Structure 1
């Protein structure tokens, strides 16, 4: 597997903490650029097979995952993932720096392995987040509790609104768009009279950007779920995560007119978080939240929490962050299950085995699953969907019955994830919500411009970097057709591989980032 990349000189951090009144903030740390580009030579990851005359490399058990110098040559290094070593070769002319942990020029490289000072046994490992300390963790900047089940600010369940989070993963196109429009049909309302809203985690391939712009203009939240949906991203490096997530944000800005400032969240492909690396990207590029961590089946569901401290539940994927990322919110996916029904348990609704049931059975299953939240701690009831759910008539009809039933409940609110987090940072009781400005639609206008009536239908050349086979991809947008199909390293579709340069939140000024996340403005049709 070959990955083209240019190694950065540093990974600066910038804290971004949501509050009820301030949707964005900027770190005061020193601003530095992080670049992602094609260097002209590939870093090839190969299985760590050793030559017969070389001693087998063993990953340091006390240091966890990471990059480690090859004892034989500075032209190579090992990437240790869950105790297994993968041999990496630096691009031609570069050498591995065992201090900075990346390939650089020979004059700058500190060739290793270099001895490290052992940590005293009485000290906690510096890369491990500590257990929750409620006395040091206060809203609006921090939220945690022992098991994650407590209502923020200690509100009584009877006074707490029941939030429902409708989320949709993947491409938006003709396969699902009309199904989504039926969910948000303009007839289903929140208690304040506003239309119900959802959150869309967009992946690039096969997406229709005119339709995405329409969803954003209607007030739904747009978030990112990578460009390529590649397998194994959880074990990739910082540059790959930047290319996927910030590249996707750039594509949405360039072809759907969704401002980078409005894209607050991300979700890892296949709910496989990228260990600490993904969350470093979240921190550096000014995202508010992640929603990738799934929670094992539990009688009482878990509320969203910040990553100042250790996550309060088992990490089902095995790739959750271990470090502290102050002020970054995790919106977990609680497992869906009903003890008295078949179907198993699942983080995504369409992963539970319900296709043999009729619409009434599906409705009853959803109702009982929901009541585990509603009659206990009122944790947000997230309903994550793929297109698959809407391809089975019984599942879709059962969902509509459930949505209509929730309209009879006086304290149920369908809001976006960012709206939910805004409430969590400064909780209000049910009686205070009809005039609650962050959930009020009447005095606010969407920041995403209205889409065009006649979009450009672009037939674009496409060739994956790992393949010599050219193909054609089709893309609709209200903007001019690009030269080629946008992809990793070329989010504008310029036809120039490695065109994208990204800079972090502290230097970008609110999420804008160099040529790959902003660049020259375009006129909509």
Structure 2
């Protein structure tokens, strides 16, 4: 039902750093961002400097205003209303609904929506005891525990001696459909040069996630990190609100995927909406090792990972970046890609859509070579399972994997390793030449898995109080009475 009375406007600044394709007559609500088509659920526009480029979601997906990206139809639930596309709980009421606002960048919520109470509760921020960050001077910030942001190889290493790390990350819910993609990607035949399986990092969100799959991914040696439990957009979160969003999801991962809390050490802010000092103080207070939410435009040559002991050396591309000092917290930056149009994008699925499999492959390999042929900074491939819904994307990606992992005498690329975020940080702390990687313990695969596999999951049907519905999920733990959520992560 569309809410018609007692409505409150909430401004949602839309963020993204994107490429430019075919120009459209669409009127961009703001200079940058992803915006839905007014009529079709599967169409959207990428706005770059106020110029719109039309895009289509892959088959089976619809554009989500809330996510700013394509998502599964069952998640978006977009339908036509009075001839307009409408996503319940995400969009303006369409024309013909009384008192429809016309201010760009606004979402409409009823006053009794539980999101309103939470947002109002976050308006009083606690006073921070944060030391202001000073300019980073390399002589005062040295490995293993401190590093200034820069494109300089650590310890003045010769780039030819550096193993080329690839940081492959997936973001969002771990569903059956997503798991099929992961299983096809991480075949036993795809291995790093040290004969260990290639690995990725998963920034897991809560709703629709199958926690038996998450447990099995952790058992296979992949890293599990936090995206968020509610994914509610809020640019002005307090420390307590960040703890609700991030620690609640860490508790859920610990309880229902059996992953030790000590192994869940990274996060990516929902929608890359960086939370300034409040977010990073929360990370510091709760034993996190890294964040991966900060786009970095400097990519010629690209940046290496860095710590937040001192002031960042890159431009802050999405407010609000931290101003304080947070010793020991690493930033795993989203080093910008160059897309086909020559513009920039920070995640694979935010680049201008290639037209065929060969163009997808060229997008991947050209951005990889910018790292491989210069300073060998870690190459980030940050994406979601939804990107693989297009068969040409899948095929091109698998061709790319097999090309960079080729170990024959004719191989063009050597010493390429797919590692997790935590493994990359361990290398940054102790830079090791490719010749010695086979004895570099953090990259070995001989240890007993810290998480056991989930072979006989329970199918749970707890009550989801927020949505007033049954919300099923799977876990090898005992089923909870209630669907886990903020304030009740264990579903008691």
Measured against the shorter chain, the TM-score band is: 0.7 to 0.9
Separation in structure 1 between the aligned mates of residue 120 and residue 442 of structure 2, nearest angstrom: 49
Whether 2:281 is the aligned partner of 1:280: answer yes
Cα–Cα, structure 1 residues 342 and 155, in superposed 2: closer, same or farther, change >3 Å?
same
Gaps of 5+ in 2: 1-7, 9-118, 407-412
Cα deviation 1:109-134 (Å, max 9, x = unaligned): xxxxxxxxxxxxxxxx9853111111
Counterpart secondary structure, 2:174: coil
Counterpart secondary structure, 1:403: helix
Cα–Cα, structure 1 residues 89 and 292, in superposed 2: closer, same or farther, change >3 Å?
closer
Counting only pairs closer than 5 Å after superposition, residues 146-295 of structure 1 correspond to structure 2 as: 148-232=150-234, 234-295=235-296
**Is the Cα–Cα contact under 8 Å of residues 309 and 329 in structure 2 kept in the other structure?**
yes
Separation in structure 1 between the aligned mates of residue 388 and residue 318 of structure 2, nearest angstrom: 26
Q: What does residue 344 of structure 2 align with?
A: 345
Cα deviation 1:243-273 (Å, max 9, x = unaligned): 1111111000100000001111011001111
Higher-Rg member (1/2) = 1
**Is the Cα–Cα contact under 8 Å of residues 274 and 320 in structure 2 kept in the other structure?**
yes
Find 2:375's aligned residue among 374, 377, 381.
377
Separation in structure 1 between the aligned mates of residue 198 and residue 145 of structure 2, nearest angstrom: 27
Find 1:478's aligned residue among 476, 479, 491.
476
Counterpart secondary structure, 1:433: helix
Q: What does residue 429 of structure 1 align with?
A: 433
Gaps of 5+ in 1: 2-86, 103-124, 495-525
Counterpart secondary structure, 2:323: coil
Separation in structure 1 between the aligned mates of residue 188 and residue 386 of structure 2, nearest angstrom: 23
CA offset at residue 289 of structure 1? Answer: 0.5
Counting only pairs closer than 5 Å after superposition, residues 296-307 of structure 1 correspond to structure 2 as: 296=297, 298-307=299-308
Counterpart secondary structure, 1:225: strand
Q: TM-score, normalised by structure 2?
A: 0.72
Separation in structure 2 between the aligned mates of residue 297 and residue 361 of structure 1, nearest angstrom: 24
Cα deviation 1:200-228 (Å, max 9, x = unaligned): 00110000000000000000000001101
**Is the Cα–Cα contact under 8 Å of residues 130 and 325 in structure 2 kept in the other structure?**
no
**Is the Cα–Cα contact under 8 Å of residues 297 and 337 in structure 1 kept in the other structure?**
no
**Structure 1 moving runs of 4+ over 4 Å:** 87-91
Find 1:447's aligned residue among 450, 454, 458.
450
**Is the Cα–Cα contact under 8 Å of residues 297 and 336 in structure 1 kept in the other structure?**
no
Counting only pairs closer than 5 Å after superposition, residues 22-41 of structure 1 correspond to structure 2 as: none
Counting only pairs closer than 5 Å after superposition, residues 18-167 of structure 1 correspond to structure 2 as: 101=127, 128-145=132-149, 148-167=150-169
**Is the Cα–Cα contact under 8 Å of residues 304 and 329 in structure 1 kept in the other structure?**
yes
Find 1:410's aligned residue among 405, 414, 434.
414
**Is the Cα–Cα contact under 8 Å of residues 290 and 332 in structure 2 kept in the other structure?**
yes
**What is the total number of aligned residue pairs between the two structures?**
369
Separation in structure 2 between the aligned mates of residue 447 and residue 172 of structure 1, nearest angstrom: 20
Q: What does residue 321 of structure 1 align with?
A: 322
Separation in structure 2 between the aligned mates of residue 344 and residue 359 of structure 1, nearest angstrom: 20
Cα–Cα, structure 1 residues 90 and 267, in superposed 2: closer, same or farther, change >3 Å?
closer
Cα–Cα, structure 1 residues 177 and 90, in superposed 2: closer, same or farther, change >3 Å?
closer
Separation in structure 1 between the aligned mates of residue 222 and residue 477 of structure 2, nearest angstrom: 21
Separation in structure 1 between the aligned mates of residue 197 and residue 342 of structure 2, nearest angstrom: 31
Q: What does residue 367 of structure 1 align with?
A: 365
Cα–Cα, structure 1 residues 190 and 244, in superposed 2: closer, same or farther, change >3 Å?
same
